[in-house]
A and B are shown apart, each in its own frame.
Chain A
Amino acid sequence: MKLTMNKTGASLEAKVAERLDTTTAPQFEKELSAQLEGVTELILDFAELSYVSSAGLRVLLSTQKVMNKQGKMILRHVNENIMEVFEITGFVDILTIEE
């Protein structure tokens, strides 16, 4: 997992690459939460991400809950594998997914 973050004022854009699974999810959560202070708009760019497992979903859910309080979270460039996972698990209704 590679995480590249670019913070502009209260907006944080995070590019996630490779995979978000049992191994990488704790690191992703740790790095992201460190930057979330005062962020009202979180943009997660999944263009480089190949798949998400349930461990990744857990982090996305907890981040979504935080952002629900601070502002909003937007997912971009979600590939069809990940989209399928979101659909199967009902996450499409929780997350805000943009093209």
Chain B
Amino acid sequence: MKETPRQGIARSYQKWLALLVLLCFMAATVFLWVTQTQLSEKSAVDLMRLNISDVRQDISDASDENLLTLTHQIAAEVTSLATVNSSMLKVLSYRFDVAEINLIDETGIIIATTHDDFLNYDMASGTQSAEFLVLLDGETEFAQSYQPTSHDPTLYRKYGGVALESGGFLQVGYDFQRYRRDVNSVLRGVTRNRHVGEGGCIIIADSNWNIVSDRHGNEWEQLSITGLQIDPALTPPNHCFQSTVYGVDSYCMYIEAEGYYAVAVMPQHEAVLSRNVSVGTTLLVELVVFAALFVLVYILTKRLIVNNLEKINGSLSQISSGNLEAVVDVRTHREFSTLSDDINATVDTLKRYISDAEARIDAELEFARTIQYSSLPSVFPPFPSRRDFDIWAGMYTAKEVGGDFYDFYLLNEETLAFLVADVSGKGIPAAMFMMSAKSVLKSLAESGMPIEEVFIQANEKLCEGNDTGMFLTAWMGFLNTTTGHLRFVNAGHNPPVIRRNNEDFTYLKSRSGLPLAGMEGVRYRPHELQLAPGDTIFLYTDGVTESSNIQEAFYGEGRLLDVLNENACSGAEALCGAVKTDLDAFVGDAEQFDDITLLSVTFHGKPAPLELVLDATVENIETVTDFVTAQLEEAGCPMRVQMQLCVAIDELFGNIARYAYPNGIGQATVQLLLSKNPGMAEITFIDQGIPFNPLTLAEPDTTLSAEERSIGGLGIHLVKKTMDDVIYVYREDRNILTIRKRF
């Protein structure tokens, strides 16, 4: 499974949203900052420009007024004169301490002047002088700014003119020194009460950057004392620049006016105050707006997407944990509706596939179960002719194929092997292991070795290549059906229940070995027990005692003992049936989780046969035949079977009479065992003559013609063909031949 990212969508969204909002916020702040800075600078510049132009006007007004007053006084003097000539004007110029006086007639020609070379100069011929022509057009006075003259551009003068009543006008010009003297005193007051903004000021300096007027009282000092250093070549007039003035970082601007420099100074902190306030306020508002936006988007995301996704995830985790009946049903939006439908459709498809697969697996398991069942002895009664014991076994598998099994078989005429085993685990692997274990045990047991050796060798064989680590518990017994002697070995299996001498059933506790296939090299000890006729031993697997009902209570060993005791006198089949019925009643509707296997053996022993001991002579055949037929008659044996038995007696006893004792007459014993239901006759011929197994005689050829036929071997052939069993053993110096015939 892939590693699950720890971060949810909401958290991711939150992160990116916060980042975006922060970026927007910062961009807006920077933009605002820049624009507000520009705005504040502009307003500072505007303010300075306004103030500075006022100052320029003040300077101009002051100098104009000064000059025009002087000009009017001179004009009054001139008007009072009868005639005016240049010399008279020179007198006046000395008197009034002006640099130049010109009298211009109605046509704009200088008709009298303090400077002779200006005589007859046409005012219209220079741009500077031409400005004065307005006085001929009705203006009464005109003052010109301080500037180079038209006549001599190196010469700076300030001119004023007054129209004369007699026509023409009088022009007065004064030079720098006179102009300064007059104007400086006026300008001293100009800056005193003038503020640029709150803390800014105006400084007026002359053309040599000597302070003329300054609120701080630094008149006649160099401008640099304030901290300002202005080089007109680098810093053009009428442009804003920054400098430290009187220790304060300030915006500054200067202009030239009438030969003076007016410098406006505005502290920067004042200029940016409005910007800071405006940016601060806006930031606060933005902060609120963005926070609200962030919260809104987050909530919407959470409600519309994350919550729905969580609902879908809830259903999906139910589905993935096995509840395929869970349905995804989120219908708030079209997209979720489609998603829900798609998931449901997928789950439906999955369900269909699963049920198909289940059906297939069920069929295969059923097949496996059938094979498993068919490998167990299932025909009951398994040994119908045997009266010396009664055996019945049953296995009831749980839904899954399991690893329980039982088995029983005759190792020889009088040894019954029977076992019950339980393989660890369930399913096909357990079933396969069970088949292997069953055949290993059977082949070892049938090879004739003692029971403990069977387990020791089976353990070795089953340990080989047991990579899956499976093992099985098993209880196996070899019962001598004649003597009732039982030898058994327990490999970790539940103790069987035994009933002896008509007493109650009890658990047969014995020292148990390790389960088979658990570990190599394990030794198993045999246990021995002598059974009396009527004793019963009941084997089972833990599926019996550990069956649980709906209340999850175990069936338990006590209940098993009870039901066995209640049915103590039943036959093997009835006993197993009673246990199963009781178990079913206890379990009720609860599911069967484990296989249930039952096996019951009751030892009856052989009844004492009717015995006839007599000389082995041909004459005695009739005695034997009469003895047997009398008993058969009483047992209700059909005539046909009686005749077959008579033929067999004639052949077998006849053989003993003729061949067993070649050196005289010996004795023979004839034993007869009869049972009525089902009818069965067992006759055993015992002699102490020469060992001879008639069953080894060659079969006669029954197809030859009369001339070719010999008679040898026909008798035994007849017996074998007509009897159900013919068994020969040589034991304790005796030929023992047994025939059985069911009827």
Contact = CB atoms under 8 A, between A and B. Distances in A.
A65 B621 CA distance: 28
Interface stretch (A5-13, A30-38, A56-64): A56-64
Contacts of B702: 88-90
B67 to A, nearest CB: 177
B711 A22 contact: no
Q: Which of A53, A68, A89 has the most CB of B within 10 A?
A: A53
B698 interface: no
Contact of A23 (B621, B643, B701, B717): B621
B709 A50 contact: no
Interface in B604-645: 618-619, 621-622, 640, 643-644
Secondary structure of the B side of the interface?
A: helix
B711 A88 contact: no
A80 B711 CA distance: 22
Contacts of A89: 700, 702, 714, 717-718
B717 A88 contact: yes
Interface in A18-59: 19, 21-23, 50-55, 57-58
A23 B715 contact: no
Contacts of B703: 90, 93
A81 interface: yes
B619 A23 contact: yes
Contacts of A22: 618, 621, 650-651, 654, 657
Contacts of A61: 706, 709, 711
B646 A19 contact: yes
Interface residues of A, number: 25
B715 A54 contact: yes
A68 B706 CA distance: 9
B647 A68 contact: no
Interface string B711-743: 100110110011000000000000000000000
A57 B650 contact: no
Contacts of B717: 88-89
Q: Which of A23, A53, A54, A55 has the most CB of B within 10 A?
A: A54
A51 B714 CA distance: 15
A81 B643 contact: yes
Given A53-B715, A88-B722, A90-B702, A68 B707 contact: yes
Contact of B706 (A19, A23, A65): A65
Interface of A: 19, 21-23, 50-55, 57-58, 61, 64-65, 68, 80-81, 84-85, 88-90, 93-94
12 contacts: A19-B646, A21-B647, A21-B650, A23-B622, A53-B647, A53-B651, A54-B715, A65-B707, A85-B718, A88-B717, A88-B718, A89-B700
